[in-house]
Chains A and B, each alone.
Chain A
Amino acid sequence: MTAKLVVQGLSHHYPDEYTGVSVHALDDINLEVNDGEFVAIVGPSGCGKTTLLNILAGLLRYREGNATVDGKKIDGPGPDRGVVFQEHAILPWRTVAGNIGHGLELQKIPRQERQDRVAEYIELVGLVGFEDRYPHELSGGMKQRCAVARTLCADPEIMLMDEPFAAVDAQTRITLQEELIRIAIATKKTILFITHAVDEAAFLGDRCFVFSRRPGRLRETVHINIPRAERNWGDIAANPEFVRARDRILALVREEVIADDR
């Protein structure tokens, strides 16, 4: 297996917005994500996981360490790294189809090819019949489906997801998680998924990086050896591998949270 994303010795400090005091957000992060792999990152809030994602997305500049995709140093945002944001970041003045095709439009892909690919991804995320709707006419779950389709349609090398399902209701979240597994199987994309929900990380990830509290360090990598085809909420709760991985992640996260409370 080849490494798609490589992060070496990455540290990050930033001045606090109000006090100006330097905050140590990330400390000496070393990690690799393989081609086609689904990796979840879990950690207590404030552990720098969103900072890491913003650096990988190219939205935040870094000075210490190195981060590469396919051997190319990350320097600013680019269509090779698609991002699905925490809150709804699809454009309210574009229809579902207009949002999903936006990346192709920016890359100046001809109309016909664009329409074909948009239709393909609308089908993939189950938004057929909603092509001409505006975001304010969609439910929270549909908006995030649209956001995922928009990112995938631009055909990135790696999809970075920042707690994308945190704002939807529990029932919808379960459906979206199962759909994301299906999409990962269908597209074979490399996915880096940030979450604070332990269950979500164990359900989705082939591996899970557990981060320590601030300054964020990679504490442990938990492997979850469950074929993607077996990942559905009906069966997985009884799977001993899932239970083991989830309990291990939970124990690690709790240690961090308890240590933080002292």
Chain B
Amino acid sequence: MTDRLNRFLAFWRHFPGAKVINLALVIAGLLTAWALISGSIDNPDRYLPSPLAVAASSVDMLYKGLLPSYFGDTISRLLLGSLIGLGLGIPFGLLLGLNRTVSDIFFPIMNFFQSVSGIAIFPIVVIWWGNSDKTVLAVILYTSFFPVAFNVLSGVREVPLRYIHAAYTLGASKFQVIRDVLAPGALPHIATGSRLSIGFAWRAVIAGEMLAGREGLGWMIFTGQDADMTSQVILGMLMIGLTWIVLDHYLLRPLEADTIERWGLVQR
């Protein structure tokens, strides 16, 4: 009996579709638990609508075109803010890393700002610019700039001095040292920092839309609560989590793994 069980388990471990089926089973279990809890409480529409009710509300919002429009707003904000943040943060980190004294001074300052999260600077930005798109964008930009800049800076500081010296003795200019030594040497940190930055920016977009927005997924959650439409709140939460998983799994992680594993920078 145990022999047959072991043989089945061995087969299952190597069965290509096993992972997907396992995941589907876990999700089915969670949905069932959710449905059971929802069915056993009073007034589920207010406290915990059933999965079916959430699905119905998503169909409704899809039909009205609200869901795609909110989703598009949020994604375009994320992309705009974080791409500008990365575009400024990566070169900034590289430049600071060029000079040891400068980077020693800036290291704690960058560490300070990367720890003050976007949500913590929201109130002051609202004081400056009110509840506007500009405010939301500024916070996303801030949130994505510092983690990547800080990571790139620490990456550059870890590039062995002998690589830099070798390039200079081959006749490299400062720009060529950045291009050929510091940037590739810090590439694993650039990848990790970018992933972190986009992750933080994703949180900041939602928070920003809740606090200062007029549309988007964060706004959708916020107005759902206001209008007593709990299924809309849960739908918003699901969208946030699912979008991140897709973004992370299909874009950010492969990018990171690729750069880190090439060249044997990390020995496997």
CB-based contact A87/B171 at 8 Å: no
Work out how many contacts link A and B, with CB atoms closer than 8 A. 72
- A93, B168: Cβ atoms under 8 Å? no
Q: Give B148-174 as 1s and 0s: 1 = Cβ < 8 Å from A's Cβ atoms.
A: 000000000000101101111111110
| Contacts A87-B162, A91-B184 given; does A77 touch B264 at CB 8 Å | no
A141 CB-CB contact with B under 8 Å: no
Give chain A residues whose Cβ lies under 8 Å from the Cβ of B168. 58-59, 77
B171 touches A107 (CB 8 A): yes
Q: How far is the CB of B98 from chain A (nearest CB, A)?
A: 15
A83 to B162, CA, bound (A): 11
B264 engages A136 (CB within 8 Å): yes
CB under 8 Å from chain A, chain B span 184-199: 184-185, 187
Closest to B183 in A: A93
- For chain B, residues 176 to 216, give those with C-beta under 8 angstroms from any C-beta of chain A: 176, 180-181, 184-185, 187
Tell me the count of chain A residues lying within 8 A, CB to CB, of chain B: 29
Shortest Cβ distance from B187 into A: residue: A93
What string of 1s and 0s marks CB contacts (under 8 Å) between B242-268 and chain A? 000000000000000000001111010
B166 adjacent to A83 (CB under 8 Å): yes
- Contact A59 B169, CB 8 Å, known A91-B181, A91-B184: yes
- Inter-subunit contact A102/B169 (CB<8 Å): no
In the assembled complex, the Cα of A232 lies from the Cα of B263 at a distance in Å of 36
From known contacts A91-B180, A91-B184, infer whether A79 and B265 are also in contact, taking CB-CB under 8 Å: no
Interface majority SS (helix, strand, loop, mixed), chain A: loop
Do B162 and A93 touch (CB < 8 A)? Answer: no
Cβ-defined contact, B180 with A102, below 8 A:
yes
Residues of B within 8 A of A135 (CB): 264
- A148-191 vs B, Cβ < 8 Å mask (1 yes, 0 no): 00110010000000000000000000000000000000000000
Q: How far is the CA of A79 from the CA of B169 in the complex (A)?
A: 6
Q: Establish whether residues B165 and A134, one from each chain, have CB atoms under 8 Å apart when the complex forms.
A: no
| A83 adjacent to B171 (CB under 8 Å) | no
Query: Is A120 positioned at the interface, with any CB of B under 8 Å from its CB?
Result: no
For residue A81, which residues in chain B have a CB less than 8 angstroms away from its CB? 169
Q: Which residues of B contact A77 (CB under 8 A)?
A: 165, 168-169, 171
B→A interface (CB under 8 Å): 160, 162-163, 165-173, 176, 180-181, 184-185, 187, 262-265, 267
11 contacts between A and B (CB under 8 A): A77-B168, A78-B169, A89-B160, A89-B163, A89-B165, A93-B187, A93-B263, A102-B170, A107-B171, A137-B264, A150-B170
